[in-house]
Amino acid sequence: MSVQFPPSAAPLAAHPVDVLPAPVRSRLLEMARGAEPVSAYVYDAEVAAGRARELRAALPDWAAVYYAVKANSFPGIVRALAPHVDGFEVASVSELELALEAAEFAETPAVVPAVVPAVVAAGPAKSVPVLTALVRARVEAINAESLLELHRISRIAVAEGITARVALRVNPADIPISGSLHMGGAPSQFGVAEPDVPDVLAAAGKLPGLDIVGFHIHAASNNLDADTHAAYLRWCVEWSVRTAAATGIELRHIDIGGGIGVAFEGETPFDMARFGELTALVEPPVGVKVVLEPGRFLVADCGWYAAEVTDVKASYGEWFAVLRGGINHFQLPTSWDIVHNVAVLPVDVWDAGEECPRPAAEHTRVTVVGELCTPEDTLLRDVYVERVRAGDLVVFPNAGSYGWEFAMHAFLGHPVAGRQLL
């Protein structure tokens, strides 16, 4: 059986080269003059900071923007975001350390947090070492995934002489909103099923060392509709208020997760201004913070992945551009089964010592593949190109999120893709 993912890009043509900002083109061409084949991420930190400022400005004061570090953990990007977000969402000790370092780096955070550090922590299988680090750091909220995790947090907090702030992650039975949301109620490793919430909270209330501050509900994914996302936020607030009242929780914290979508080619981008207008109509109780955890939305368009074309060849009537890189550097198009279009950046320097003429594909459809020994190492299929030659660079825009972090770095042992700021 032949591998047929990601989906065919036909009838799309590759982006014109001017889709790449001039500073990006300049940096990549400079890299192409080096001794090593290019395979690297280039990031513009100001693009990410600008996106964060725009979202923060659109929201009311009771809403807080926490950057989900998993989307792009490059230290330069995390530091650049620190002055423009209210905190960070982390899922490991490594991400916690990045967030704490970035919080110190930021001289003027967007909003001075009531709890330092302004960090919330998520993840379905937090180990005891991870929970210990979070408790010791006195993070703003640990999103607890189960009764066992609550017991572990309690034991660690008591041993440390600390009261740990905890939000219970909930898998809701249903979210009465249509649109591109992942609805609740499905079996999942994430959170506590809604019918079990009262019993889990009752048990948690008897544990020492815990301060149950609210709820974490992350049921949205890649939603491009501002109206439904605002309705989702409203539903999370109303559900949390009702449930806190019914279970005796002093509600101070509602985490709605991320889920703001990033538009691919042909899709309409998320309307931030509209989302802000609708969100402002929601009225959480006084003293309750509503946390949004955008990751991909803040950083997707701040990065470009570029790889040198090591070869261009035809096979049974189909053309292939073979890269110095692939899913070991940029796995997103294959794993998410999406069309992620590219631009071809011509590199006119060609090694005159090459005995074979410079291979090229012109005015035809090309499949872009990587250097790994598997047909799954396919990044883009059937895209029309005016010309692509060995030695040119294939560049993927909108590669700032789940790029380097999501790749198969160790497979075959090729060098890991570089990362740098403009």
- CATH number of the CATH domain containing 369: 2.40.37.10
Per DSSP, the three-state class of 407 is: coil
Is residue 155 a part of any domain in this protein? yes
What is the predicted pLDDT for the residue at 177? 73
- Domain ends where: 268, 299, 330? 299
Number of domains in the chain: 2
pLDDT the model gives residue 186: 80
Query: Catalytic residue numbers?
Result: 373
- Distance, in Å, from the CA atom of 175 to the CA atom of 155, rounded to the nearest integer, reads 34
Which whole-number Å values give the CA distances from 209 to 103, 143, 205, 269, 366, in the listed order? 26, 15, 10, 44, 60
- State the pLDDT at residue 187: 80
Q: Is residue 7 included in any domain, yes or no?
A: no
As averages over each run of 10 residues, the pLDDT of the chain (422 residues) reads: 77 97 98 94 98 96 96 96 95 96 67 60 94 96 97 98 97 78 75 95 97 93 92 96 97 95 88 97 97 97 97 96 95 90 94 80 98 93 97 97 91 91 96
Identify whether residues 204 and 344 lie together within a single domain. no
Residue 104 is predicted with a pLDDT of 77
> Same structural domain for residues 191 and 56?
yes
Tell me: do 93 and 173 sit in the same domain: yes
Contact 171, 191 (CB under 8 A): yes
Do 62 and 165 belong to one domain? yes
Beta strand pairing status for 360-369 and 378-389? antiparallel
In 3D, which of 401, 396, 414 has the Cα closest to residue 28? 396
What does the pLDDT look like over 345-389, one tens digit per residue?
999 988 766 678 899 999 999 999 999 999 999 999 999 999 999
For residues 287 and 363, state if they share a domain: no
Q: What range defines the domain where residue 388 resides?
A: 17-44+301-421
Per-residue pLDDT of 95-116, as tens digits, reads 999 999 998 766 544 444 444 4
Query: Do the domain assignments include residue 141?
Result: yes
Whether 283 and 250 share a structural domain: yes
Q: Would you state the pLDDT for residue 4?
A: 67
Considering 264, 299, 334, which residue would you say is the last residue of a domain?
A: 299
Are 273 and 313 contained in the same domain?
Answer: no
Residue 1 lies in a domain: no
Residue 55 lies in a domain: yes
pLDDT tens-digit readout, 267-292: 899 999 999 999 999 999 999 999 99
Determine how many CB atoms are found less than 10 A away from the CB of residue 310.
16
Give the end of a domain, one of 299, 324, 339.
299
